Amino acid sequence: MVEPNSKAKSDSEWQAILSKEQFRILRKKGTEAAGTGEYDKFYEEGVYTCAACDTPLYKSTTKFKSGCGWPAFFDAIPGAVSRHEDRAFGMVRTEITCTACGGHLGHVFKGEGFATPTDERHCVNSISLNFRDEKVEETPDESKTSKPEAPRRRLSQILSGLFK
């Protein structure tokens, strides 16, 4: 759901300002192929904004290396990202959208064992983002971690369970 005073537009208005691929992902809830996005392995200091409406969504201080093939963040700028239940493809996931314009960003996953303050992974399509190079101040929670790596122990547990 898009908030009141939002930056919502009709599909024809979005088609006029977004590329075909941006429209497919941001407006039709598509997904870019893993490992193909501009910001997957990008770790400069700044702010990630919505590619549709330019609303600030994530600070670089919350981005981490998850190894999933998409940019991963452990938290959003407060109020910038909304969560919705997504029952597509026979599973239940939590979709994340830009609160201002309703643009599809990706999904959030909990309890994967990453060494982050929230134990969440916001898995975001790069094409849903733009990057603004600017100085970012960390909050106390953000300073507890600096780009944690994917948890190797959990991966080895999963793999060992497959070959028993």
Q: Is the residue at 164 inside a domain? A: no
In a domain, 65, yes or no: yes
Which H helix or E strand runs over 82? strand 81-86
Rounded to 5°, angle at Cα 141 from 44 and 94: 80
Number of domains in the chain: 1
CATH code, domain carrying 78: 2.170.150.20
Q: Give dist(CA 111, CA 60) in Å, integer.
A: 21
* Domain-embedded: residue 90: yes
For residue 162, the surrounding DSSP H or E stretch is helix 152-162
Please indicate, yes or no, if residue 1 is contained in any of the structural domains: no
The catalytic residues are 123
* Domain that includes residue 86, residue range: 11-138+152-159
Q: Is residue 42 part of a domain?
A: yes
pLDDT at 140: 57
Question: What does the pLDDT look like over 14-50, one tens digit per residue?
Answer: 999 999 999 999 999 999 999 999 999 999 999 999 9
Does residue 4 fall inside a structural domain?
A: no
C-alpha dist (Å) from residue 68 to 1, 16, 25, 39, 153: 27, 32, 18, 12, 16
- Kindly state whether residue 3 falls inside one of the protein's structural domains: no
Q: Which two tokens stand for residue 14?
A: 């979005």
- pLDDT confidence bin for 61, thresholds 50/70/90: very high
Alpha-carbon torsion (58, 64, 70, 73), positive or negative = negative
Residue type, 99: T
Give the Å distances, CA to CA, from 17 to 5, 14, 114, 154. 20, 5, 37, 42
**Residue 31 resides in a domain:** yes
156 pLDDT more than 60:
no
- Structure pTM? 0.81
